[in-house]
Amino acid sequence: MNQQETDYRKQKAKSRLAWGVAIFFAIFWLLVALIPFAFMILNSFRKQFDMLSQGVFHFPDPWFFDNYPNIVKNGFFGYFFRSVLIVGISLVLMLIISSFAAYPLSRMSFRLRNLIYAGIVACMSIPMHVTLIPIFKMTNKMGLRDNLFALLGPYVTFALPMSIFILTAFMMTIPKEVEESAQIDGCNKFSNFFQIILPLSKSGLSTLAIYNGVSMWNEFAFANTLLTSANQKTLPLALGQFKGEHSADMPLMLAVLVLSALPMIILFIIFQDKLVKGMMAGAVKG
């Protein structure tokens, strides 16, 4: 009895120690994650030369708010709205096309089904950089050189394989009977899709929208290759553009960074659970 009690105490002390160590590391990593953000936000409220003279550990003195209006005056919202536009259109197209493709792959049996499915899954690992030069050439031939909408094709296509894969798995979980009863009521495959399968896939579609939205919002390589003039560039390119115009003004650049990171952080705090679910859907493919 006594022996048991001391064992229990020992174990409890041990687990308390383990938790102590765990919490220490948790807080350490919290600081690692947060300090760059603190650096970015605090310094964006300084005047250009205050940063070096005051040092990074000193709070801005005085707080300087003009960096933000300055950026807005220099066309920040142009970049912002172009990004919203291209990501919005790409996402809508991508979701329509991938749910179209996932429907027969998940709920019909036809001859080439397995081959097509395997092919699409294999496309997930194609590195986009290998396609950069051909797509650059293609875009020039199409007359879309330095045009925001040149990004539409690559953005939609490179999100397709993964989305089709996840949606196929998702649609497989919808019970067969739902469709069969509709078929008896005289629905064909097309009205089945629009009236039954698509509405039932809503939660899968929304997680995919968030997951792909983040990567399209941040996309750099295609945008940098296909767009050259400031009035076509998207938000990730705005940073380079502002740097070209105000290279020495570090606080101003940091203010650009804050503004460009803010939308994603706000969206994440609102849709946190959805995003994590979207990534889980991706994780299931393991």
* 56 in contact with other proteins (CB under 8 A): yes
* 22 in contact with other proteins (CB under 8 A): yes
Stretch that binds other proteins, among 1-9, 61-69, 143-151, 185-193 (CB under 8 A): 185-193
Determine how many CB atoms are found less than 10 A away from the CB of residue 102.
Answer: 25
- Tell me the one-letter amino acid at 73: K
| Nearer to other proteins among residue 78 and residue 276 (C-beta) | 276
Choose, by CB under 8 A, the member of 133, 172, 178, 270 that binds other proteins: 133
Distances (CA, A) of 182 to 119, 195, 232: 31, 10, 47
* 57 in contact with other proteins (CB under 8 A): yes
Choose, by CB under 8 A, the member of 1, 184, 248, 283 that binds other proteins: 283
* 270 in contact with other proteins (CB under 8 A): no
| Nearer to other proteins among residue 26 and residue 85 (C-beta) | 26
Angle between helices 113-123 and 152-172 (to 10 degrees): 130
Q: How far is the CB of 268 from other proteins (least distance, A)?
A: 5
* 250 in contact with other proteins (CB under 8 A): yes
Angle at CA of residue 22, ends 20 and 24, nearest 5°:
70
* 212 in contact with other proteins (CB under 8 A): no
Q: In whole angstroms, give the CA distance from residue 105 to residue 165.
A: 9
199's enclosing H/E stretch is helix 198-200
The sign of the torsion formed by the CA atoms of 92, 94, 100, 106 equals negative
- Total binding residues toward other proteins, as defined by CB under 8 A: 94
Choose, by CB under 8 A, the member of 91, 95, 162, 164 that binds other proteins: 164
Q: How far is the CB of 250 from other proteins (least distance, A)?
A: 6
In sequence order, the 6+-apart residues with CB closer than 8 A to the CB of 5 are none
Angle between helices 202-217 and 152-172 (to 10 degrees): 150
Report the site for other proteins in 32-51 (rule: CB under 8 A): 32-37, 39-40, 43, 51
